Each structure stands twice: as C-alpha cells, then as structure tokens.
Amino acid sequence: MKISTRLLVLVSSALLGVSCVAGMALYSLDYSLKESRKSEVVNLLAKAEHVSRYYVLQQNSGKMTQAVAQESAKKILSELNSDSKSYYWANDGKDLTIVHPNKDLIGKRSGGNHTASGMMDNEAYRMAISQSHFGLVDVLVKRGKDESLQPKLQGVVLIPEWNWIIGTGFFYDDINASFWKMAWELLIISLAIFVVVSIIAGIMTRSIRSTLGGEPDIAANIAAQIASGNLGVDVKLAANDRSSLMYTLNEMKLKLRDLVRDIQLSSDSIATGASEISMGNTDLSQRTEEQAASLQETAASMEEITATVKLNAENARQASKLTIKASSATQQGGEAMGKLTHTMQRISTESHDIVQIVGVIEGIAFQTNILALNAAVEAARAGEAGRGFAVVASEVRTLAQRSATAAKDIKNLIGESVTRITAGSSEVKLVGERMNEIVQSIQKVNDIMDEIASASSEQSIGIEQVNLAVTQMDGVTQQNAALVEQAAAAASSLDQQAHQLRQTVTVFKL
C-alpha cells in the first residue's frame, strides 16, 4: 500500500472518528437542550406556583377574598407573559381559559389540541399532574389559524385550592433551531478539520516521500536484501536526492560493501597469520615442554650432585678430623722414636762399657788361668803335699778357662749386639726422620683436607644456589609452557574464529 493510500485511510479514519464524535455531540446536545428546556419549564412553573400560592395564603389568612386573590394572581401571571414564544396560561376547573397572552382566548373553553397519540390535551394535562407535581406533556399546537401543527413541550402544575391548571411551554422548533445552529457549527468545524487534516496529510505525504525517497515497501525490501547479505541490490534515487532514506540506504550499502570487502581481505590475512601462529605456537609448546622435561632432569641431577657434594664435604671433614688424629698420633710416634733413639744410644754406650767390663773379666780370667798354671806347677813341684792344691788349681784353671770362654762368648755376643744396636740406632734415627717427614706430610694433607672441606662447603652452597636457580628456571619454564599452551589454544581459537569470520563474510554478495 502506498503512502498516499495509507494517509488517505488515516484521514478517512480520522474524519470518521470526527463524524462519530460530532454525531455523539449532536445527540448529547439535543438531549441536553430538551432537558434544559424541561428544567426551564419546571422553573417557570415553580415561579407561577409560588405567585399563586402567595395569593392563596393571602386568601386563607383573610387578607383578601378569593375573587381579589385570584384576580391579583391572574394579573401577575399576565404581566409575566412578555415573551410570546414562552408564556403562561391558566385554566379553571371548567377548562375555561383565564390567563393567556391572546386576549381573545380568555373566557373561552380551552382544548382542541391533542398529543401525538391522539389524547386530548386537557386529559393529558390531568394525567401528567396525577403522576408528577410538575407534569410535562408533548402536545401538537398551531402557532396560528392557518399554520400547521407544531410539537410543543407543555408543562403544567395544579393549584388545588382554586382548581387551576397553570401551564407554560416551548415549541420544539426553537429547540431544533438551537440544535441545528450547533449542528451547523459542528459541521463547519468538522469540514475545517477535514480540510486541515487533508492539507496536513498532503504535506506529510510529500514530506515522507521526500524523507523516504520512495515507497516504504521498496525501502523495506532493499533493507531486507541488505540484511540478507545482498550488497549488490540496485537502489533507485531521484536526481537531486541527497537526504532521503533511500539515499542513506544506498550510502549504507556502498560503505558496507567496502567494509565487507576489507573484512574479507583482512579475514583471509588473519586466517593465514592465525594458522601460522597456531603452528608456531604448537612447535614452541612442544619445544618448551621438552625444555621443561630437560630442566626437570637437570634439577634432579643437580639435587643428586648437591647430595654428593654434601657427602664429599662431610667425608672431607671426617678425613680432616682423622688426619688431625693421625698427625697427633704420628707426632707422638715421632716423639717415641726420638726417645727410642736416645735409649738405643744409651744402650750402645752401656754396651761399650759392658765390653770393657767383659774385657776386664777376660783379663782376670786370663790372669787366673796363668795363676792356676803357676799353682799347678808349684803343686807338681810339691808332690804329694801339693796334690790337693793341684786339684784346686786345676779346677780354678778350668773355671778360669770356662770364664774366659764365657767372657769371650759374651764379648762376641755383646759385640754383635753393639753392632746390631748401632745399626738399629741408625735405622731408628732414620725412622725418626721419616716419622718427622710423615708428620709434616700429614700436616700438609690436613691443611689440604681443610681446604678441600672449605671448598666443598662453598661448592655445596654454590650448587644449592644453582639448584635453586634451576628449580626457579624449571618453575618459570613450566609457567612458560602453560602460557605457551594457552597461547597455542588462543591461536587455535583465533584460527577458528578467523575461519568462522571468513565463512560469515562470504554470506555477503558484493
């Protein structure tokens, strides 16, 4: 449906609504006018009743006679009949007209008019009064002799003391005149609204067409094709159109087409780069994992080396302690060897003294042997007398020989002992010198072991630091491996997204 048709439907709907509102307003106006006239009739009747009741009270109080009171009431009611359209009239109990603006009708029998249903007016008045204090009756009445019957609203009230029926009313043509006056005003207003709405609709149509640059369904179709990815749709524009919706759609299509073309090119580049990054991250992840495993092995080896170095340091400390003990024992052995050498020298000296003593004993034995020989010679010379002495001398000689032999054996043994003691003393002295050299060597070994222990301690501390650094490197490498895995996952996700982006962009037709 075209915009003009839609606006025509809108204007027609608005006018129909205005017509309905006008109709309801006219209906309400007609009802209100009739109700207003009924209220006005009731108010006029209330005034007439009030005047009549006043004179009835004057009569009842004795201030006036009935005739004077009635004449006064008639006079007042007649003076109120200044308006020929709405006037008071009154009938007595015999249906004679006693008050009327037409003097010719006074004193004559009223009636002759009837209602739309055919009931005589006097009967309708009495029936209305019997049903309500102020009776309202629609009666057909002629304005003049030669005029047609006109509907008139008649209101009546009864003055029971005098049996008067006082009435007043309005012709419905007055009400209709007011109604049609308002109806023509509403009609003029409705026509004015119709003209204004039509003008506004025409202006809006031109404005909307100028704004849209075409029919809305065409713009909607173009927008739907662009939304579905068809960026090659043809958009027809007016010659000087630079601000309409169609022009904006065409500009959007052109810019979107350029953007999608750039996105397609970029998505291809992104997909290629993402694929390369994903492959590189995968290789890097594998190498990082291998490096992490090597670092774990290195850390384990460093722990073993640390334990070994600590054990070596501890063994070096124990060896140093043992070396100190050995050095002390060697020093004590050197001292003992020194004392032994000194003792051997003394023994050697005393052995020389023993040799000299043995030499003295040998000399004594030799002299004793000589003396025994001399005694034997002398005993031989003495004969029998010296035989016993000869035996003694022989025994002494034997003892002397044996002593000499023993002394000689002792001398030989002592000589050999002295020789051996001298040799042993020399060897002990040499052993003492070697012991001193051993003590010095052990002292040097002790110093070297102290240095080894100190170096091992420093090496252990250094290796612990290296182990800590390797452990930290292992942790960092593990974190790097995790980050590389995350980067690989992100790169893989980027690759997938780039692939999806490329597939998504392929929906557009350039």
Parallel, antiparallel or unpaired: strands 97-99 and 114-115 = unpaired
**Does pLDDT of 43 surpass 80?**
yes
Q: In 288-326, which positions are buried (b, 16+ CB within 10 angstroms) versus exposed (e)?
A: beebbeebeebbeebeeebeebbebbeebbebbeebeeb
Write the pLDDT tens digit of every residue in 56-74: 999 999 999 999 999 999 9
- Range in 16-30, 34-48, 127-141, 416-430 with the lowest mean pLDDT: 416-430
Nearest to 37 by CA among 151, 140, 113: 151
Backbone phi and psi for residue 116, each to the nearest 5 degrees, phi listed first: -65, -25
Write the pLDDT tens digit of every residue in 412-458: 777 777 677 777 767 767 766 777 777 677 777 677 777 777 777 77
Tell me how far apart the alpha carbons of residues 276 and 274 are, in angstroms, rounded to a whole number. 5
Contact 167, 156 (CB under 8 A): yes
**Does pLDDT of 157 surpass 90?**
yes
Question: How far is the CA of 276 from the CAs of 271, 280, 445, 488, in angstroms?
Answer: 9, 6, 65, 11
DSSP class of residue 144?
A: S
> Domains in the chain, please, with CATH?
29-191 (3.30.450.20), 273-505 (1.10.287.950)
Write the pLDDT tens digit of every residue in 167-213: 998 888 777 777 788 788 888 888 888 788 778 877 877 777 677 66
Read off the tokens for 148.
């047609």
pLDDT at 52: 93
pTM of the complete model: 0.38
Residues 6+ apart with CB under 8 A from 215: 2, 3
Backbone phi and psi for residue 231, each to the nearest 5 degrees, phi listed first: -90, 10
Q: In 158-193, which positions are buried (b, 16+ CB within 10 angstroms) versus exposed (e)?
A: bbebbebbbbbbbbbebbeeebeebbeebeeebeee
Tell me how far apart the alpha carbons of residues 210 and 3 are, in angstroms, rounded to a whole number. 12
Amino acid at 228: S
**Does pLDDT of 509 surpass 70?**
no
Percent of the chain with pLDDT over 70: 87
pLDDT at 2: 67
CB atoms within 10 A of CB 36: 14
